[in-house]
Structure 1
Amino acid sequence: MNTPRPAPPRVAAAERGATRIVDRVVAKIAAQAAREALAGQGAAPPHATVTVHHDIARVRVVLELAYPADLAAQCAAVRRQVAQRVEEYAAMTVPEVDIDIERLRPERARPAAGRDRRLR
């Protein structure tokens, strides 16, 4: 005859162990966030490196950006998105996001606004 075993006692979450997210995973989150911030620009995919100490992530993102364009605005958008995503997905504080612009890519030639470019 099989008698049911008693259920093991519940262990508090703090006593069960810890979850550690390695630097490489946080770097993938950061690179994806940078890609989201630059959506539609057709640039090479961003690359990120991260150093994690406790719950603080130091992030460096390497980008290719379109030029001429407002580089400062593009970098600010990437910084905001990376910090937000890393904090949201990995529950880490991101005090700064360093950006290295590796290459400036010329934007496709566009006709000037209001001008007729057709030959007559």
Structure 2
Amino acid sequence: MPDTVVARIAARAAREALSRRGDGSPPRPGLGAPRATATVHNGSARLGVSLGLPYPVDIAGTCGEIRHYVADRVSYLTGMRVDTITVSVRRLVPDVSPRRGRVR
């Protein structure tokens, strides 16, 4: 399977993981779409995912949840073993809702 196809699947899985976070709030404007890269070799994949996160958030915990979700989805949908996933946070987007006030 081509690297670009696996990267698209990983980006989609990262989007799904962000939307499944469970707080019931809609996706925050300004987060942007997750991006992914993939290197496929002998039936296994190495992935890189970069994304924006809502703030405040447990960054390490959220990245761990995303890493596990993306690994499971990519493995399930492609049949490949996922050896490595690197999750990078591009930006943190503060909550500026009226109930919280402006976060600086």
TM class by shorter-chain length? 0.7 to 0.9
CA deviation after TM superposition for structure 1 residue 110, in Å: 5.1
Is 1:111 the counterpart of 2:99? The answer is: yes
For residues 55 and 45 of structure 1, the distance between their equivalents in structure 2, rounded to whole angstroms, comes to 27
For residues 98 and 61 of structure 1, the distance between their equivalents in structure 2, rounded to whole angstroms, comes to 6
For residues 70 and 77 of structure 1, the distance between their equivalents in structure 2, rounded to whole angstroms, comes to 11
Unaligned runs of 5+ in 1: 1-20, 113-120
- Tell me which residue corresponds to 1:48: 36
Unaligned runs of 5+ in 2: 20-25
Q: Which has the larger radius of gyration?
A: 1
Q: Larger % of strand: which?
A: 2
- Tell me which residue corresponds to 1:61: 49
AA matched with 1:64: G
AA matched with 2:51: L
Q: What SS class does the counterpart of residue 88 from structure 1 fall into?
A: helix
Runs of 4 or more above 4 Å deviation:
none
TM-score by length of 1: 0.71
- Tell me which residue corresponds to 1:23: 3
For residues 32 and 69 of structure 2, the distance between their equivalents in structure 1, rounded to whole angstroms, comes to 18
AA matched with 1:28: R
Is 1:82 the counterpart of 2:67? The answer is: no
- Identify which of 98, 101, 118 aligns with 2:86: 98
**Aligned-residue RMSD, C-alpha:** 1.4
Q: What SS class does the counterpart of residue 103 from structure 1 fall into?
A: strand
For residues 41 and 76 of structure 1, the distance between their equivalents in structure 2, rounded to whole angstroms, comes to 19
TM-score by length of 2: 0.81
Q: What SS class does the counterpart of residue 109 from structure 1 fall into?
A: coil
How many pairs were matched up? 92
